[in-house]
Structure 1
Amino acid sequence: MAPLPSIRPVTAADLPELVRLDGQAFPSGPYPYFVLRQFLDAYGDHLLVLDDGSGLLGYVFATAPNADHSWILSLAITPGLQGRGLGRRLMSEILERLRSEEVKEVWLTVEPNNDTAVLLYRSLGFVAEGAPRRDYFGPGEDRLLMTLAF
């Protein structure tokens, strides 16, 4: 049996691989390279990747704590590898790190029809804050706001 992929903070050397992964996970709206670069510079220790030694299999991005709360900006797993607990591992790790930094609440948004993601977040303790917010990211880009209180 192959060893579990490791979870570690992203590095600048990971950026090309991160861009590839993000484009595969979100083909209709990946982050531009410069945004990923700025996330690295601004939130370095809160950007975790799942690395199997030959490439990145997933990532989770969170903001640094601000006034006792943090945002999960994005969670992605390489297409074809979803459903194997990799997203749960990444989320559990980042939530543990945020908890250890005395964050009181974690927020995220999710596409309301992404049942798999919504179920994952609910299983981790997140709750929906009301109905989906229409046009949250622009016309036709509705999002469900979810929060987790520690």
Structure 2
Amino acid sequence: MRPIAEGDLPRLARLDEDVFAEHAYPFFVLRQLYDVHGEHLLVLDSEDEGELLGYVLVGTQADRNRSWILGLGIDRRSRGRGFGRQLMAEALRRLRADGVGEVRLTVEPANTAAVELYASLGFTHLDHRENYFGPGTSRLVMVLPLRP
């Protein structure tokens, strides 16, 4: 696991498209997210193939009161091996060290594996938002306080 490098962007775009299909970030958005939040974009490399197994992307408000998990993606062949938990745990560790107050994320309600992962990390249900990303894209909003 490591912070992303600029040269990883094409591989990140392929991974994001494989994981999220029509909901994947366009390359230009990934490029801009790298420019703005690159220090909070962690990737997990495969040992032998030179491919990315997963990533987590965090965006933090300037006042550090709140961060958002903007993306967590694990290669389909690598799921069920704890990589999502590893990436999230490291992201949360870094956010706590940075003094961030809380972390929020959105997740598709039907994605029970992701909802269960986030709940096991301490996230709780905050809201259910219909049409969050447009018509037919409801999302659960989950929150994890990092400061007392």
Same fold (TM over 0.5): yes
Matched with 1:96 is 93
- Kept in 2: contact 1:65–1:98 (CA 8 A): no
The one-letter amino acid of 1:62's match is V
The one-letter amino acid of 2:33's match is F
Which ranges of structure 1 fall in alignment gaps of 5 or more residues? 1-6
Matched with 1:55 is 51
The one-letter amino acid of 2:100's match is V
Q: Please report the RMSD computed on the Cα atoms of aligned residues, expressed in angstroms.
A: 1.0
Tell me the distance in 2 between the aligned counterparts of 1:134 and 1:20: 28
Tell me the distance in 2 between the aligned counterparts of 1:116 and 1:65: 28
Q: Would you say how many aligned residue pairs link Structure 1 and Structure 2?
A: 143
Paired residues for 1:1-150 under 5 Å = 7-53=1-47, 54-67=50-63, 68-130=65-127, 132-150=128-146
Q: Say which structure is richer in helix.
A: 2
- Kept in 2: contact 1:17–1:56 (CA 8 A): yes
Tell me the distance in 2 between the aligned counterparts of 1:91 and 1:77: 11
- Kept in 2: contact 1:58–1:77 (CA 8 A): yes
Shift of 1:29: 1.7
Runs of 4+ residues deviating >3 angstroms: none
